[in-house]
Structure 1
Amino acid sequence: MHRVVVRECGEIGVPCEYELDLRKTDIKDCLGCWSCWLKTPGRCVHSDLNEFYKAYLSAQKVVIFSKVSHGFVSGNLKTLFDRMIGLYLPYLTFKSGESMHVRRYEKYPEVELYYEGEFSSPEDEKIYVDYIHRVFYHFYSTCNIVKPIAQFPTEEIQR
C-alpha cells in the first residue's frame, strides 16, 4: 500500500513512501493569488510542497498525526489544508446540499487522523472531529478515523 504520513507529533513509526514532518518543515502561507488555478493549474507558486502533492495524490492512504492547539488544528496543519486547494478546480458544484470545489483528479487518498492534545469539553472535541471530517469530505477523501493518538492501532504498523 502506498502510504504518506503527515506528522506534527508522535514518534510512532509507520512504514510509508513519503513523510511530511511539520515539526521540521516551514510551510509558506497561501497567498490567495489563485495562481494554482489560473497560471500554473494544480501547482502553487511556492514550490515547498511539490513533492508532497505528488505523494499525496499517488497515495492510497494518508496518516496524519496532528497536534491539538488551543482546542483546534495547529496553524501549520491549517496552512497545509489551505495550500491543498490547488488540488481541486476553481469551479463549484452543488453536492449534498452545499457547494464545494470540483475535483481536479480522479482519485484522492483515504485519510486517517490521530491527534494529540486536550480539549476543554466534549463539545470542543466534537467540533474538532467534525471539522476534520468536513475538510476531507470537501477534499473528496474518505476519513473514517479521527481519534486520539493513543488509539493508533499498533498492528497497523505491520501493514
Structure 2
Amino acid sequence: MKHVVVRECGDFDFPCGYELDLNKTELKDCLGCWSCWLKTPGRCVHSDLNEFYKAYLAADKVVIFSKVSHGFVSGNLKTLFDRIIPLYLPYLTFKSGESMHVPRYESYPEVEVYYEGEFSTPEDQTLYVEYIHRVFYQFYSTCKVVKPLSEFPVEERLG
C-alpha cells in the first residue's frame, strides 16, 4: 500500500512513500488566479507542491498529522486544502443535492486525520471533525478517521 504523510505534529516515524512536513515547508497561498484550470490545467502556477500532487494521486492512503490552531486547522493545512483544487475540474456537478467540482482523475486516496491540540468546547471539536469530513467529501476521498493523535494505532508507529 502506498502512503503519503502530511505532518504538522507527531514525533514518530511512519512508513510512507512521500512526506510533506508542514513544519519545514511554507506553502505559497492560492492566488485565486484560476491558472490551474484555464492556463495550465491540473498544475498550479506555484511549483512548490508538484511532487506532492504526484504522490497524492498515486497514494492509496494519505495520513495527516494535524495541529489544532485556535480550535481549527492551521493556516498551513488550510492552504494545502486550498491548493488541492488543481486536482479537480472547474466544472460543477450535483451530488447528494449539492454542487461539487467534477473530479479530474478516476480515483483519489483514502484519508486519515490525527490531530493534536485542545478545543474550548465539545462543539468546537465537533465542528473541526465535521469540517475535515466535509473537505474530503468534496475531494472525493473517503475519510473514515478523524481522531486525536493519542489514538493513532501504536502498532503503526515505528519510532
User: Scaled by the length of structure 1, what TM-score is found?
Assistant: 0.98
Q: For residues 48-63 of structure 1, what are the structure 2 equivalents within 5 Å?
A: 48-63=48-63
SS of residue paired to 1:67: strand
Q: Which runs of 4+ in 1 moved over 3 A?
A: none
SS of residue paired to 2:120: coil
CA distance in 2, matches of 1:59, 1:137: 17
Give the aligned partner of residue 43 of structure 1.
43
Question: Structure 1 residue 12: deviation in Å?
Answer: 2.2
Q: For residues 79-158 of structure 1, what are the structure 2 equivalents within 5 Å?
A: 79-157=79-157
Structure 2: runs of 5+ lacking an equivalent: none
Q: Matched residue pairs, number?
A: 158
User: Scaled by the length of structure 2, what TM-score is found?
Assistant: 0.98
- Structural RMSD (CA): 0.8
Residue 146 of structure 2 aligns with an amino acid whose one-letter code is V
Structure 1: runs of 5+ lacking an equivalent: none
Question: Structure 1 residue 148: deviation in Å?
Answer: 0.2
Residue 89 of structure 2 aligns with an amino acid whose one-letter code is L
CA distance in 1, matches of 2:146, 2:55: 21
Question: Structure 1 residue 117: deviation in Å?
Answer: 0.2
Question: Structure 1 residue 10: deviation in Å?
Answer: 1.1
